[in-house]
Amino acid sequence: RFPKFANMSHFEKTAQDACDRAFDEKQSESVLWECVQMVSEQKQQRTKLYEAVNLARKTAKSSFSRNSLSTDGLETLMGGWIKNTVEQLKAATGGFPEQVVSAEVLTQFFNGIVAKNGLPRTVTAVFGAPPANWPYIHSTVAEAFNEAADDAAAALVGPSADERAAGLEAEPGDSKLPPPKRSRGRAEGYGRAPPTGEQAKAWQDQISRMPARPYGISKKKW
């Protein structure tokens, strides 16, 4: 028998919300896996893509507020979902999401989710369904991949090993050519033409920033 102290309308709403969440979860996972198989043929890539998209979906949904304005509610959800997916792929590939999926394929993937009603029903019931081939998906995927490429490029143009060892940071415009190695006896590269032009200038700049060896310290310790 239903408890007298409980509010029937509140109970019904709570039960309905729980059913909607369970339905959305099952529906989303099924649509995601179907779309993953359509855009990728390699098992390892399919697994990585599915795990990234599914985790990103849960993150985006948990941070999504139903109080968002009706004009941007869908964009809030989809934008978070796409960007979180690319972040998950970056983490899985060391910063290169294109190793798993290209921007073009990921755009097709998310458009497939929309076409197969893979968005949460609790969201589309409030904000409606997005249009087919939604331009927002294309622009958001492109933006996320561009940011990933910028981050990867910035990571590659960091201070050299010798600069880090000397406690020096790379200056803007510094060349990343390897510095000459110190060695005893015949110098490495003996008999070759000495460096000229930009290479010679780059080496001289790096040598000038190397710490001078203190007097009284043997070469072995140095």
**Residue 196 falls within a domain, yes or no?**
no
143 within some domain: yes
Question: 94 is in which domain, residue-wise?
Answer: 13-156
Q: Is the pTM of this model over 0.85?
A: no
For 169-216, the pLDDT digits (tens) are: 545 545 444 544 544 444 444 445 555 566 666 656 665 665 554 544
Domain contains 211:
no
pLDDT tens digits for range 62-110: 776 554 545 577 888 899 999 999 999 999 999 999 999 999 999 999 9
Q: Are 40 and 61 in contact (CB under 8 A)?
A: no
Assess if residue 21 is contained within a domain.
yes
Number of domains in the chain: 1
Query: How many CB atoms neighbour CB 64 within 10 A?
Result: 19
Report yes or no on 83 lying in a domain.
yes
Looking up tokens 């076409």 gives 115
Quickly state the pLDDT bin for 123 (edges 50, 70, 90). Answer: confident
Segment 45-63 mean pLDDT: 88
pLDDT of amino acid 171: 52
98 domain residue, yes or no:
yes
Indicate whether 68 belongs to any domain.
yes
Task: Please name which of 163, 189, 190, 182 lies closest in space to residue 220, comparing C-alpha atoms.
Answer: 182
Residue 43 lies in a domain: yes
Spatial separation of the C-alpha atoms in residues 206 and 210, rounded to whole Å: 7
